[in-house]
Amino acid sequence: MNANHTPSTSSTSSTVLITGGTSGMGFATARLLLATGAQVVITGRDEARLALAAERLGGGDRLLTVRADAAAPADLARLADTVRERYGKLDGVFANAGVAGFHPVEAVDEAEFARIVDTNLKGVFFTVQHTLPLLEAAGGGSVVLNASWTPHRGFPGAAVYAASKAAVLSLARTLGAELAGRGIRVNSVSPGYIATEMFHAAVPDPAGHEPIRAQVPLGRLGQAEDVAETVAFLLSDRSSYITAQDIVIDGGLVPATPALAG
């Protein structure tokens, strides 16, 4: 095994898995990687959304879509088998699938707690576990976990969501250390306010966007492409000496925002 192996997103031999790739940051990353010549596998829970994403991406034979729910380890095992049969290996993984939920602590019931944690934590962990043999088959590779800015600062109403993402930050540090000797780098990204479908569902009124922009030193919402560029860098050999790290992509929001009280 080559402990220094990392994938190059400019190589047509590079094969990357993106969970939750039908929209938002996952979709933008898939589009960017396809443009560099990579082979890309995207997952989603809904067949119709997968088909639409494939049509929009236009990746031809270099794009594989697999219906899989990241919260279901059996789906992730089947996903790994499918990738093994098609490509035999993976050079990179973007564990991007996630769900949001913002409620006062008293309003969170067990079902909502499980919904968030099952996708955001269990899904990320088992995505890595099931793809490890495929990364090792490539001689090593790079894994990027999608976390959030919310664990970096107090955010009222985000108790469960932020805790699930804090666990993702911990996974990146721990797995980065644990897997380094096997030639696998693990890092995370912590997006701030990114103008994705998830953001617009949480803040549907455009009038609510201005107060949010006002909090961001760069004066704008992030775009999915801002995250995709960073993920592509972390998946590539340009970041070959970076592991167990988190990169916050938030326009300066975290350094400029004090912890908030509920």
Tell me the CA distances in angstroms from 142 to 20, 77, 189, 237, one per residue in order: 18, 19, 13, 9
Is 165 among the catalytic positions? yes
Q: How far, in Å, CA of 12 to CA of 72, rounded?
A: 30
Q: How far, in Å, CA of 99 to CA of 70, rounded?
A: 10
Closest CA to 261 of 152, 107, 154, 149: 154
Q: How far, in Å, CA of 114 to CA of 123, rounded?
A: 12
Active-site pick, 122, 161, 193, 241: 161
CB 184 within 8 A of CB 143: yes
Q: Which two tokens stand for residue 207?
A: 């009038």
Q: Which two tokens stand for residue 221?
A: 């919402």
CB 175 within 8 A of CB 187: no
Active-site pick, 122, 165, 193, 241: 165
CB 51 within 8 A of CB 29: no
Closest CA to 127 of 177, 191, 80: 80
Which residues are the active-site residues? 161, 165
